[in-house]
Amino acid sequence: MKAMKNRTLFLVWLGALVFWSCADGRLAVKLDSPQAATIQFSFALGEKTLNLIRNLSGNPNLGIDNRPIEEGLKDLPGVERVSLKSVSPSALEGTLQMNNIPLFLNRIPVGTVSFLSSGGGTLELQFSRNHREALLALFSPDVRDYLDALMAPVMTGERLSRKEYLSLLESVYGVALRREIEQSRLRVSCTVPGTITTITGGTSDGKVGNFSLSVIDFLVLEQPVVLRLSWK
């Protein structure tokens, strides 16, 4: 595998995930208008995951290269500006500004953002097996090879439960990698221009909705992952 390149939605919006197996991923999303949003994010690969990538690549010094990732993100529709930096061989952080959210979601149809003329609005994102092909098309060959090596159902199309997939992962790569991926989470905060009235899949505090998501849920997609919040 070459230096990892990634165009995936999860790095931009939810995540994440070179970074479908990040040990720690955080995104802070601020909806500025019906068109614009600012996203700050950080991702860190777990030690076992990084070692697996290095073994697959044959390069013991391989790390996350921010440059091809940044170039890939700049090509996505609706993206105005991207700034990334590699803070270590296994960690990345940066900021992304979007100036056309509807255009972005037209390209990657996993959700909607609607603002009401009377004030308030709704954000809804849904990730399911129905989106599998669209999401995989955004990955570079390197990332697809990595997901294939992980035998992730999102890549193979096989229908496995969380328990079945974790057992398979352990049988091939051992208990340490299984535990690392099982414990990996993506934490998302979303600040909206109003007071949150309802939220699905998370908790809210005034203008901020918070979601804590298991990476395994994205790798398996046994059930749809739904995030929804409304504000006034």
Residues 6+ apart with CB under 8 A from 116: none
pLDDT of residue 119: 74
pLDDT of residue 231: 93
Residues 6+ apart with CB under 8 A from 118: none
pLDDT of residue 75: 80
* Average confidence score pLDDT of the chain: 80
Q: Which residue has the higher pLDDT, 67 or 98?
A: 98
pLDDT of residue 108: 65
3-state secondary structure of 187: strand
Identify the band that residue 190 occupies on the pLDDT scale cut at 50, 70 and 90.
Answer: very high
Give the distance from CA 138 to its chain's centroid: 12
Residues 6+ apart with CB under 8 A from 221: 127, 128, 129, 132, 153, 154
Please state, in angstroms and rounded to a whole number, the distance separating the CA atoms of residues 170 and 172: 5
**Residue 14 pLDDT greater than 50, yes or no:** no
pLDDT digits (tens, 9 = 90+) for 100-109: 888 877 766 6
**Residue 165 pLDDT greater than 50, yes or no:** yes
Q: Which residue has the higher pLDDT, 16 or 202?
A: 202
Please state, in angstroms and rounded to a whole number, the distance separating the CA atoms of residues 210 and 91: 22
**Residue 2 pLDDT greater than 60, yes or no:** no
The alpha helices in the chain, defined as continuous H runs, are 9-12, 47-57, 66-74, 101-107, 132-136, 141-149, 153-156, 162-173, 175-183, 215-220
Please state, in angstroms and rounded to a whole number, the distance separating the CA atoms of residues 180 and 170: 11
> Taking the CB of residue 69, how many other CB atoms lie within 10 A of it?
25
Top mean-pLDDT range of 88-102, 133-147, 158-172: 158-172
pLDDT digits (tens, 9 = 90+) for 20-53: 455 678 889 999 888 889 999 888 888 888 888 7
Phi, psi dihedrals of residue 38, rounded to the nearest 5°: -115, 130
pLDDT of residue 69: 76
Poorest-pLDDT segment among 37-46, 61-70, 75-84: 61-70
